[in-house]
Amino acid sequence: MADIYRAAEAGNLKALYKWLKGGTSPDSFLKATKATPLIWAARKSHPRAVKLLIRFKATLDMQDVKGNTALHYACQNNDRKTTLLLVEAGANMSKVNVRGEAPFQLSSFEFFKKQVIEFFNMRIEDNLIRRKYLESKIASVNLSTLNMKEICNDNLQKLREWKWEIKKSADEINKFKLECDATKQQLEVIENLRKTYLQRMIKAREEETLAREKEAKFRALEAVQLEEIRKTDEELQQIKLETAQINSEVEYLNELMESRTSILAPIEMFPEDERVALVCLTGILSLIDADTSEEMEFSLANSDARDYIKGAVNKFGENNVGLDRAGNTLLNRVNEYEKEFSKFKNAQ
């Protein structure tokens, strides 16, 4: 069984083909190292042996005792041919070893050492727009609060006027009572005056009742307005908290921007290089799979990245299945993110 490992390590295609054709599993491994023939071939930079093992359906992402896959060793050796073969075959670019290192973290490729996400610029701009919106909303809330306070003051003034009218009515009632007492001795005049005074008293009581009802309504309205003012103050506090959070996010993104560059720079710099396009697109897809914050999707959706991806797929996708699959998967991710983001904005 060990011969297949020696054949893979030496890049001996005839011997390797003989073992594979004879029924030896391409995923067999030694207990001591857990290294498969594919790992040995990649470790020793034998791309033809790697290609043969891929043809015989070797599992791409099996790990040895160090947690390294074949792609880890290909990247560590800066072996472009082997790396591209594994990537085109669908090797997992985000799988980490026992030290927490992804394959391309072991390489010295310049376009992977400059893994910066251009979307931070777009994210900062979006947060600034949101900040302006919140500031305008705060101003609107302040204006509404001021208007409500003015309305409340008007209502209080009206309430004072009604109280004065009630007091005036009460004074009139007392006056009528005094007049009635003074005219008791004049029976003839009293009868006529009594009818008049009774009518006035009834009217005054009706006015008093009406005034009290209006007072009760104004008090209820005042309570409602005070509650609305309280809710408005709570909303204002919430908006201020959200504004502070956005400011912190903007500061965070500004700090990150100092060390970031465009994730599509390789395609922009080498538009005619199919391998660069393949490695770049698969790398971006791997970053998106590893990133749960949706910031990568936001950057791609709010830039001209879609045009570069479509251009690479249209140019090389027909003859490169891995590139076509990675590019279309990226475009689908961006479209799905735009739909979800649109629903979120509409809900707001």
Q: At what angle do helices 274-290 and 305-316 cross, to 10 degrees?
A: 130
Range in 36-40, 82-86, 143-147 the model is least confident about: 143-147
The pTM score is 0.35
Task: Give the per-residue pLDDT at 115.
Answer: 30
Work out the percent of the chain whose per-residue pLDDT is above 70. Answer: 85
Task: Give the per-residue pLDDT at 303.
Answer: 64
Range in 59-63, 170-174, 303-307 the model is least confident about: 303-307
Residues 6+ apart with CB under 8 A from 9: 40, 41, 43, 44
Which pLDDT band holds residue 182 (cuts at 50, 70, 90)? confident
Residue 122 has pLDDT above 50, yes or no: no
Work out the percent of the chain whose per-residue pLDDT is above 90. Answer: 8
Question: How far, in whole angstroms, is CA 329 from its chain's centroid?
Answer: 20
Of 288, 326, 291, 283, nearest to 105 (Cα)? Answer: 283
Residue 129 has pLDDT above 80, yes or no: yes
Alpha helices in the chain (DSSP H): 2-10, 13-21, 37-43, 47-55, 70-76, 80-89, 110-113, 119-182, 187-257, 265-269, 274-290, 295-301, 305-316, 321-347
Residue 69 has pLDDT above 90, yes or no: yes
**What would the two tokens of residue 99 be?**
């030290």
- Per-residue pLDDT, averaged over 104-118, amounts to 53
CB 25 within 8 A of CB 63: no
Task: Give the per-residue pLDDT at 292.
Answer: 65
The residue that leads in pLDDT, 67 or 78, is: 67
Residues 6+ apart with CB under 8 A from 297: 288, 333, 334, 337
CA–CA distance, 4 with 19 (Å, rounded to integer): 6
Residue 112 has pLDDT above 60, yes or no: no
Task: Give the per-residue pLDDT at 302.
Answer: 62
The residue that leads in pLDDT, 117 or 139, is: 139
Task: Give the per-residue pLDDT at 250.
Answer: 55
Q: At what angle do helices 80-89 and 321-347 cross, to 10 degrees?
A: 60
Range in 96-100, 134-138, 339-343 the model is least confident about: 339-343
Q: Which CATH class is domain 2-108?
A: mainly alpha
Task: Give the per-residue pLDDT at 67.
Answer: 92
Which pLDDT band holds residue 2 (cuts at 50, 70, 90)? low
Task: Give the per-residue pLDDT at 262.
Answer: 60
Range in 35-49, 68-82, 133-147, 197-211 the model is least confident about: 133-147
pLDDT tens-digit readout, 248-301: 765 654 454 333 346 677 777 778 888 888 888 888 888 777 776 666 666 676
**What would the two tokens of residue 249 be?**
């996010």
Which pLDDT band holds residue 119 (cuts at 50, 70, 90)? very low
- Per-residue pLDDT, averaged over 187-196, amounts to 83
Residue 68 has pLDDT above 60, yes or no: yes
Task: Give the per-residue pLDDT at 253.
Answer: 46
